[in-house]
Amino acid sequence: MGLSALTLSLPSAAQSEATQHFDIPAGSLDQVLNRFALDAGIELYLDAALTQSRQSAGLQGSFSVDQGLQRLLANSGLSARQQSDGAWQLYALGSEPDSLSLAPLTIQTNADQLYGRDEAGHDSVYDDNISSVYSGKEQIERYKGANPADLFKGMLNVYTGDARNSGGLDPNIRGIQGPGRVPLTIDGTEQAMSVWRGYNGASNRSYIDPNLIGGIKVIKGPNIERNVNSSVGGAVVASTIDVDDILAEGERFGGELKLEAGNNTVNPRIPQLHTGENYYDVPGFPANPSIPSSDPTLRVNLKTSSDDKLLSGNDHAYRLALGARQERFELLGAYAFREHGNYFSGKNGAGFYSQPDTGERTQEYSQSLALDFHPGDEVPNTSSKMESWLFKARWKFDDDHSLTFGYRDTDMLYGEILPTRLANADDKGAVQWPLSHVDAKAYNLEYEFNPDNRWIDLYANLWTTRTESETYSAGGFPNYATWADPVLRNTAVANADQNRVGITLSNQLALASSLDLTLGGSYQHEKLRSGDEYGGVEDGWRMFPRAGRRAESEFNFNFDWRPTDFLTLDLGARYSSYWAKDDFLAEQQAAGNMLTGTAITSRSATYRTIETYTDEEMEALRESTRPQLEGFGFSEAEIADILANLSTTYTATHVVDWLPDSDGRYSRENNACLNGSLDNIDTERGCSANSTTVSTIATRVKTRRGHDWTPVASAALRLSDDSRVYLRYSEAVRYPSMFESTIGFSASLNPFYTLKPEHAFNYEIGYVHNLTGLLNAERYADFKLAYYQHRTKDVIERSSNFLFYNIDQQTLRGIELQTRYDNGGLFGDLSLAWNLENEVCDKNSAVLADPNYGSVPDCVENGFMGGYLISHAIPRYSANLNIGGRLFNDKLELGSRVTYYSKHENSDLDDYKANAETNKLAIYNLPLSWGSVTTYDAYVSFRPRDDITLELVGSNLTDEYYIDPTTRSAVAAPGRALKLSLTAQF
């Protein structure tokens, strides 16, 4: 008989008699019983044959162990009894066994770890009444790809901005992206930095080493999840590897060594800069040294796919982790290293990216990308070198009381180039810039106290992050000089130091057997500074070195009420506040440099009409014309003829003020060219709107503040033991980020009015069905369908004046399907997304885009030209399929992954480009379109022994040429690659 046991050390009498609250969702009976044993702190022997294919409705309410087991096993034909040693054994009614003499299997860990971080993460996708997606350690290490951005590949409706040209993650959930909209935390710490990308926008980068990550959960939409920092778009919650990832059950000391090697890369040839040299002495240097877009010293001879060697060693990685586990103490130390050269792009399917370069300003560069970045060639600026350390120590004062210290340090060099510098370069595909450098450190101290007391389940996390960076995002050139000063210097690299300190607190109280209350709060302070000296935009094309301070705090509560076995209600609210101050602006103005902002503050409409002279006016015209004709020597007869045929009409010019409202916003209603006031003038001959007043004012130094309350509510109705439907409503506010609260170039703090916080309103309805019994699945079979509508008011966007301002609203709607199946030998999952709508509305933006003809509607798809939102659009359709099988007692595993997304579509953008020349419309920050693509990945994993795993992974097997959605830089994705890994535990 196959028996398994779950053990936690509590006195048996206390286990049997104490009443405690349980909130265990429905699932297979063995999963529910396992979770019950963990929550109850008991040792429970399970016979897999007895529970196979059985389902359970879960358990909600307060029960003793005996009462809970009776409730769970009711009508199952099974029962449980407690042995003399305190353990519980499951048996079939009518066949009560003798006392077991087996020694219990003891797993020294906490309840969450015992259940399994990754198993719990995957289950939560279907157990929680909110949309989410989870990736565990095995998936992360298998498919970590060429860039950190590959961590999100295969996650439904989750993307990252600038996937191949940033070195970090810029999360995009359902089309929501940007500073503060989707916080990413690692072990509860946050490190995100907003990096300027020229006119193309900004990346909100979180630097992450996949070799240290144990699991990633993406929560979609505003929420109040315990100990989760979320915002208008949701949250990304990552956790690092832990002792239980390294040590097997019962082990006290051990380690894990992981070795990896791959192909499809070549060593980058990093240019040697000529800082300090006279540009006259550099052969072939451009004649205009202040705009050296064609700097020959930044060009490399590209390698082709024929130079790709399977055993080149240009992509290799290793990780060594050591762990120790004692009764009251756990220790983990890990070191990880990876060096990855410039990769080669794919060879196939480049038709969309091979369209002729017409030179027209309305053509998106990505459509001719393959003409510069040839399929199969090396892609410059895509290399990386990453070195990381991780240390964790956990003290368990007793079984309910622990303190954990964590330290993480990731030092990385990676390739990147400013999009505008790449777009303006000759021979774009051969431009290689120096590497950016980032060193990101994090410290955290976690405290947990969960005694056998319904009033206390306490958690606290005190943390700080320290990030130092030298990134190629300043706006200038690696080799820059002027005619007046011919000595070359680097004006392309930007220094930034960003430090954050924060604390997260929460406590869960069982107010009654069917009512829980969770209280939470957090505080975070961030400080940004730069060591760069600033001499103005004209000094090397450098942007302002942003510097400032910002703090945000939050208090939240959430009631979880279960009035019946089939209904669950949640109601909560969040109060948040913030302040921010621009330190660079204050320093400059204190030194007498009154930095200013410029904007058009008033406009006028000018139109012309054909008017008829009165008799008196005609007579006066003839009298004034006669002397002129006589002076030219015309005869009297000729003068009489000319005067008799003078035109009786003339063109009159009229100027009407077109003024904004108190917030500086313009509308069609008072634009004479568009509001219909000229329709009844038969002689009107054209109208144009023009700027009248251009104002320049000093940006005021002040501390900007805000606060608000937002609610969250949900209801879940259980339709049967295996199915439920839920409805969720949630709100959230996002305050201006550090980037939006400081002065900069082409994206700056607005001196003319104060930004409002964004306010999101989210609705979601979902249906979940456990199909395990119906499909006779050995492990699980689940189905989840969700519809969402997300509306954000006062979205912070960049204006045509390159200042931040609020637009009216953005609305997103879509449908998502998630399924999974595991029958032991065969497993898989399928997820589909259909994004129905991404509509951005703003009357001001629309009318200013075309004030003469009004061709731009108030509501457009994805966003307005020149703003940031238009670059956040995601595919309308996407699909992910994983399928695999296990053979030879799970020693051999074969699997594959298929990822599909549809091409970029935007009919409003097409109309805009069609009218651009006729209506003289502005064109800047065109989004980079992508073609539809399907990629195939596969792996073979073999375990000759329990402590040895060999794995071969193939990525992009059909060698497709493509770019990733939401990219701001025209950089092709990696082509076909193979990776071989060895994992050994000792």
Alpha-carbon distance values, 975 to 406, 436, 880 (Å): 37, 23, 19
Yes or no: say if 267 and 313 are a contact pair by the CB < 8 Å rule: no
What residue ranges of the chain are covered by domains with CATH 3.55.50.30? 3-106
SS3 state of residue 782: strand
Structure-token pair, residue 514:
């069917």
Within 10 angstroms of residue 358's Cβ, the number of other Cβ atoms is: 10
Q: What is the pLDDT of residue 125?
A: 96
What residue ranges of the chain are covered by domains with CATH 2.170.130.10? 117-240
Q: Terminus-to-terminus CA distance in the chain, angstroms?
A: 30
> Could you tell me the CATH superfamily of domain 243-595+699-985?
TonB-dependent receptor, beta-barrel domain (2.40.170.20)
Looking at the DSSP bridge assignments, the partners of residue 895 are 884, 939
Structure-token pair, residue 23:
């909130």
Alpha-carbon distance values, 89 to 31, 61, 98 (Å): 16, 23, 10
Distance CA 736, CA 578 (A): 9
Distance CA 856, CA 644 (A): 48
Distance CA 413, CA 727 (A): 46
Looking at the DSSP bridge assignments, the partners of residue 813 are 789, 837
Q: What is the pLDDT of residue 99?
A: 45
Structure-token pair, residue 383:
């290399």
Alpha-carbon distance values, 786 to 142, 725, 832 (Å): 28, 10, 11
The CATH T-level fold of domain 3-106 is Phage tail protein beta-alpha-beta fold (3.55.50)
Q: What is the number of residues in the chain?
A: 986
Residue from 122, 58, 217 nearest 723 by CA? 58
- List of residues 6+ apart from 558 with CB closer than 8 A: 224, 226, 517, 518, 520, 570, 571, 572, 712
Is the domain spanning 117-240 CATH 2.40.50.140? The answer is no
Looking at the DSSP bridge assignments, the partners of residue 800 are none
What sign does the dihedral 734-738-739-745 (CA atoms) show?
A: positive
The amino acid at residue 384 is S
Q: What is the pLDDT of residue 231?
A: 97
Yes or no: say if 380 and 414 are a contact pair by the CB < 8 Å rule: no
Yes or no: say if 249 and 105 are a contact pair by the CB < 8 Å rule: yes
Letter string b/e over residues 563-593, b meaning 16 or more CB atoms within 10 A of that residue's CB: eeeeebebebbbebebbbbbbbbeebbeeee
Q: What is the pLDDT of residue 536?
A: 66
Q: What is the mean pLDDT of each run of 10 residues along the chain (986 residues)?
A: 40 54 81 84 76 78 86 84 81 64 36 66 95 97 94 97 93 97 98 90 93 97 96 98 92 96 96 96 95 94 89 90 95 98 97 91 90 96 97 94 97 94 85 97 97 94 98 95 95 96 97 95 97 78 92 98 95 98 92 82 90 92 91 90 91 91 90 91 86 82 95 97 96 97 86 92 98 92 98 94 93 98 96 98 95 95 94 97 96 98 95 88 87 98 95 98 93 96 96
* Phi, psi dihedrals of residue 398, rounded to the nearest 5°: -155, -170
Residue from 964, 874, 932 nearest 351 by CA? 932
The amino acid at residue 151 is L
What residue ranges of the chain are covered by domains with CATH 2.40.170.20? 243-595+699-985
Structure-token pair, residue 200:
């193309």
Distance CA 795, CA 798 (A): 10
Residue from 127, 122, 8 nearest 56 by CA? 127
Sheet holding 684-698, edge to edge: 649-658, 596-612, 684-698
Give the rounded distance of the alpha carbon of 130 from its chain centre: 18
Within 10 angstroms of residue 502's Cβ, the number of other Cβ atoms is: 23
Q: What is the pLDDT of residue 257?
A: 98
* Phi, psi dihedrals of residue 594, rounded to the nearest 5°: -80, 85
